[in-house]
Amino acid sequence: MSIEVIKPGLATTVQDGGRSGHYHLGIPPSGAMDQVSMRSANLLLGNPETAAVLECALMGPELRFHDTLRVATGGAEMVPKIDGVACPNHEVIEVPAGSVLSFDFVRAGARLYLAVEGGFDVPERLGSRSTYALGSLGGLDGRPLQPGDRLKVVSAERCADAGRSLPESLRPVYHKQYELRVVPGIYDHRLTPAARERFYDELWSVGSEADRIGYRFKGGTPLEFIEREPPFGAGDDPSNIVDACYPIGSIQVPSGSEPIVLHRDAVSGGGYAMIGTVISADMDLIGQIQPHQKVRFVPVSLDQALEARGQRSRRLEALRQALG
């Protein structure tokens, strides 16, 4: 069973739950940036929750189906079209053999997840099918899709009936401005008190280069670091530290100018001070923010972060209950 890529979209990659446990060796987790939407598409279709899907950033692909297969979408709103005829999002749809599945332009959100019955079949690397393009690892030949690629599909043990749809209450809601919750630290003492305060006061705009490695933010006032004699091993820039591990979600501000939030394809360490970490519960949301949309960073305590993590787990549990 195969699907042929006619047009790949802008940056379409095979992703799943990711490969955890190798970050200390420099291999990032990768996997769908918006894990909730990826899982929702799979659960809707009756797939294993973390079966490999296509993550389609900002523009959908054009795919020719050589076999009749059921699919479901999650995440960003891009209307799916079968041979040009619009179909609903968040619903199991059957694509007949010989048909072309394409997508209208993105109306809200940034990443659409396309699940296919059984899941996309690429070799597992370190326990995951996810694409880590920077390291040419996983996915289809370690890279985003290209025209002419053939995607294979795992034969499905079961599949939901066409027409099954995600309950309205479990669908994502997108905006043009968001709040991202941040646990401050562990190097924010390197900022001047005024800069620390201003970082959370100002509205930041997502840079157009934002991708799976990191989201860069612009438009705020540059942040001043406290002057100091660089410690042995640290670079000369005031934003430098002695090399340290970078958590996913950590915020670095090279030279104080533009904050970068690391995401699932990030490098695992380096010499920039991290002034805070976006909480795990808000990492899915980052994957749905378009370039040029606005964000305010909101400081929260570790207890609040853990409470939010609990809420996210309950939301996933509600998806499993509704669709299991």
Partner 1 sequence: MSQLTQQAPFPGVFYRRPSPDSDPFVEPGSSVDVNTTIGLLEVMKQFVEIKAEAAGKVLEVRADDEQVLEAGDDLLVIDTSGEGA
Among 290, 295, 297, 323, binds partner 1 (CB under 8 A): 290
Among 4, 6, 22, 59, binds partner 1 (CB under 8 A): 59
How many residues of this chain interact with partner 1, rule: CB under 8 A? Answer: 15
Confirm if 198 and 135 have CB atoms less than 8 A apart: no
Q: Report the phi/psi class of residue 193: left, alpha or beta, with left for phi > 0 and alpha for psi in -120 to 50.
A: alpha
Residue 285 as a binder of partner 1 (CB under 8 A): the answer is no
Residue 286's Cβ-count burial label (10 Å; 0-12, 13-18, 19+) is: buried
Nearer to partner 1, 57 or 248 (CB): 57
Residue 57 as a binder of partner 1 (CB under 8 A): the answer is yes
Closest CA to 164 of 34, 54, 42, 2: 42
Q: Supply the DSSP string of 142-190, one letter for each residue.
A: TB---TT-EEEEPPPS--PPTT-B--GGGS----SEEEEEEEE-SSGGG
Q: Coil, helix or strand for 242?
A: strand
Distance of CA 111 to the CA centre of its chain: 7
Confirm if 281 and 312 have CB atoms less than 8 A apart: yes
- For residue 252, the one-letter residue type is Q
Residue 131 as a binder of partner 1 (CB under 8 A): the answer is no
Which residues in the 28-47 window bind partner 1 by CB under 8 A?
none
Confirm if 204 and 291 have CB atoms less than 8 A apart: no
In the bound complex, what is the minimum distance in angstroms from residue 118's beta carbon to partner 1? 29
Nearer to partner 1, 79 or 234 (CB): 79
**Beta pairing, strands 274-278 & 177-184:** antiparallel
Q: Alpha-carbon distance 256 to 272, whole Å? A: 10
**Beta pairing, strands 240-245 & 269-272:** antiparallel
Which stretch, 122-130, 202-210, 269-277, 312-320, contacts partner 1 (CB under 8 A)?
A: 202-210
Residue 209 as a binder of partner 1 (CB under 8 A): the answer is yes
Look up residue 255 and give its two tokens: 């030279």
Which stretch, 12-20, 55-63, 162-170, 245-253, contacts partner 1 (CB under 8 A)?
A: 55-63
- For residue 90, the 8-state DSSP code is S
Nearer to partner 1, 10 or 242 (CB): 10
In the bound complex, what is the minimum distance in angstroms from residue 78's beta carbon to partner 1? 9
Nearer to partner 1, 157 or 209 (CB): 209
Nearer to partner 1, 292 or 320 (CB): 292
Nearer to partner 1, 62 or 224 (CB): 62
In the bound complex, what is the minimum distance in angstroms from residue 134's beta carbon to partner 1? 12
Which residues in the 220-279 window bind partner 1 by CB under 8 A?
none
Among 150, 292, 296, 314, binds partner 1 (CB under 8 A): 292
- For residue 292, the one-letter residue type is H
Which residues in the 62-121 window bind partner 1 by CB under 8 A?
105-107
Among 10, 226, 298, 302, binds partner 1 (CB under 8 A): 10
What residue ranges bind partner 1 (CB under 8 A)?
Answer: 10-11, 57-59, 105-107, 208-211, 290-292
